[in-house]
Amino acid sequence: MSAASELKALANPSRAFGLQKFFQTAKGQYGEGDVFLGLTVPEVRKVAAKYKHLSLSEIERLTSSRFHEFRLCGLVILTLQFKSSKDPLDHQKIFNFYMTQAKAGYVNNWDLVDVTAPILGAYLVGQKDPYPFLQKLSRSKSLWDRRLAIIFTFAFIRAGELDPTIETSQRLLKDDHDLIHKAVGWMLREVGKRDIQILREFLNENSQEMPRTMLRYAIEKMSETERRKWLINSR
C-alpha cells in the first residue's frame, strides 16, 4: 500500500460533491478546477501520520496531484517532519520545498494554507529579517501568496512577536478578496488575545478603512459593548 492508494480507498463521492461546492471549485470561483475525493481531515491526517517519513520527492508526488486530499496529505506530512526535527537545516530545506510547491500552484486553497503556514512560519521567526519576504508575498497577484503572508505571521504571534502581523495587516488593508479580509481579521484577533491594547491601537488608526468582514473577525472576542462601539465608529 502507498499513501495515494490508501487515500483513494477512502474516497466518498457523495461527500466529495459537497466539498467541491464548499471550496468553491466552479468556473470563476477561487477554487476553480480543484478535485475532491471526499475524505475528512482526520482521515487525511491519519494517512499522513502513517507515511510521515516519506522523502521530499515522494511528498511531491502527493502535493502535485490534482486531488485536493493528496495535496493536503503531502502538506501535512511536511508539517509533521518540520515539527519532529530540531535541526535548522532541516527546517530550511522543508520550508524551501514548501515555497516551491506554493509557487507551482499546489498550495491553492485556504485550508491548505491554514494547516501549514502557522507551523512552517516558525522558520521565518528565526530569520534575521523576514519582512522583505512577507512584503513580497503580500504584494503578490496570487490570492494564496497573500494569504500565506498573513497566516505565516501566526508563528510570530505564538513567539510573542506581534509587529509582523500588524505590518502585514496594514499592507493587506485594502485587499479586495474576502478570504484575505477573513485571514487578516483572524490574525488581528489573535494579536488581541496577546495584547488587546495593540489591537485597539490598530483599530483606532484603521477601523474606518477596514472591510466590514475584516473588522468583525478582528473584534469577535471583545465584549458586546466594545464590538458595537467599533462597528458604529467604522460606519
Residues 116 and 3 in one domain: yes
How do residues 128-178 score in pLDDT, each as one tens digit?
A: 999 999 999 999 999 999 999 999 999 999 999 999 999 999 999 999 999
Share of the chain above pLDDT 70, in %: 100
Assess whether pLDDT exceeds 90 at residue 60: yes
Residues 157 and 102 in one domain: no
Residues 82 and 153 in one domain: no
The count of structural domains within the chain is 2
Query: Could you tell me if 135 and 79 lie in one domain?
Result: no
Place of cell 511531491: 60
**Tens digit of each residue's pLDDT (9 = 90 or more) over 77-107:** 999 999 999 999 999 999 999 999 999 999 9
pLDDT at residue number 93? 98
Residues 149 and 229 in one domain: yes
Q: What pLDDT does residue 233 have?
A: 79
Q: How far is CA 192 from CA 212, 213, 219, in A?
A: 18, 17, 8
Residue 45's domain spans which residues?
1-120
Average pLDDT on 189-204 reads 97
- SS3 call for 127: coil
Please determine, for residue 28, whether its predicted confidence score (pLDDT) is greater than 70.
Answer: yes
Tell me: pLDDT of 52 over 70: yes
Of 69, 87, 120, which residue sits at a domain end?
120
Task: Assess whether 71 and 90 both reside in one domain.
Answer: yes
Residues in the chain: 235
Pair (166, 65) in one structural domain: no
- With contact defined as beta carbons under 8 Å apart, do 137 and 148 qualify? yes
Q: Are residues 176 and 86 in the same domain?
A: no
Last residue of a domain, one of 120, 146, 173: 120
Q: Are residues 90 and 134 in the same domain?
A: no
- Count CB atoms within 10 A of the CB of residue 15: 14
Domain boundary among 105, 120, 135: 120
Answer for the pair 124, 152: CB distance below 8 angstroms, yes or no.
Answer: yes
Q: Given a cut of 90, is residue 213 above it in pLDDT?
A: yes
Residue 120: pLDDT above 80? yes
Residue entry with cell 487515500: 7
Rounded to an integer, what distance in angstroms lies between the CA atom of residue 211 and that of residue 178? Answer: 9
pLDDT of residue 235: 65
Provide the CATH number for the domain around residue 167: 1.25.10.90
Residues 204 and 187 in one domain: yes
In the predicted structure, residue 22 carries a pLDDT above the cut 90: yes
Q: How far apart are CA 202 and CA 50, in angstroms?
A: 44
* Euclidean distance between CA atoms 57 and 6, whole angstroms: 18
Residue 126 has pLDDT above 90, yes or no: no
For the chain, give the mean pLDDT: 96
- The alpha carbon torsion through 207, 134, 104, 76 (nearest 10 deg) reads -80
Q: Tell me, what's the pLDDT at 10?
A: 97
- 157/193 same-domain check: yes
Task: Give the pLDDT mean for 22-48.
Answer: 96
Could you tell me if 144 and 100 lie in one domain?
Answer: no
Residue 234's pLDDT band (cuts 50, 70, 90): confident
Radius of gyration of the chain (CA): 19
Residue 1 pLDDT exceeds 90: no
